[in-house]
């Protein structure tokens, strides 16, 4: 048995299959998920697990070279906006929410959280550790 890191076998396995430039969406409980990407649904109850918990856990496991979020986050979710700004001070791209939903179709993996705050969504672009 693993003693640390991500213990969820579905999520750990999905992360192991990712490569350079693959896209990973971390989303709140309400984001529509398109057909196509692999989905690991972690949502249990409203707010559980939170976007921040899942986001931090994935950042601990992945090399990320860029991120995309909906520009609407600025006026509707200050905490998540600050979290993303602090994590990606130079590489966070903001786009309209409708465009964000369209881009989720290109993801290899979608990780759904139980987050119940608006616009708590991000697309991560995988990098390489060398």
90 belongs to an annotated ligand binding site: no
78 belongs to an annotated ligand binding site: no
- Structural element, H or E, at residue 130: none
97 belongs to an annotated ligand binding site: yes
The residues that bridge with 48 in the sheet, in sequence order, are 45
106 belongs to an annotated ligand binding site: no
Supply the residues annotated as catalytic.
Answer: 20
What is the C-alpha separation between 47 and 61, in angstroms, rounded? 22
**67: closest CA among 84, 50, 46, 48?**
84
What is the C-alpha separation between 70 and 93, in angstroms, rounded? 8
Judged on CB neighbours under 10 Å (0-12, 13-18, 19+), 97 is middle
Q: How many CB atoms lie within 10 A of CB 95?
A: 15
10 belongs to an annotated ligand binding site: no
Known binding residues: 28, 97, 119-121
**Residues that constitute the known binding site for substrate:** 28, 97, 119-121
């Amino acid at each position: 048995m693993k003693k640390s890191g991500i213990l969820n076998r579905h999520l750990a396995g999905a992360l192991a299959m990712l490569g350079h430039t693959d896209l990973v969406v971390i989303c709140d409980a309400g984001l529509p998920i398109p057909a196509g990407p692999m989905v690991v649904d972690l949502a249990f109850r409203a707010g559980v697990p939170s976007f921040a918990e899942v986001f931090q856990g994935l950042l601990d496991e992945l090399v990320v070279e860029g991120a995309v979020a909906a520009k609407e986050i600025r006026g509707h979710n200050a905490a998540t906006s600050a979290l993303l700004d602090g994590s990606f001070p130079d590489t966070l791209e903001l786009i309209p929410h409708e465009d964000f939903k369209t881009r989720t179709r290109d993801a290899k993996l979608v990780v759904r959280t139980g987050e119940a705050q608006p616009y708590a969504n991000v697309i991560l672009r995988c990098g390489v550790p060398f």
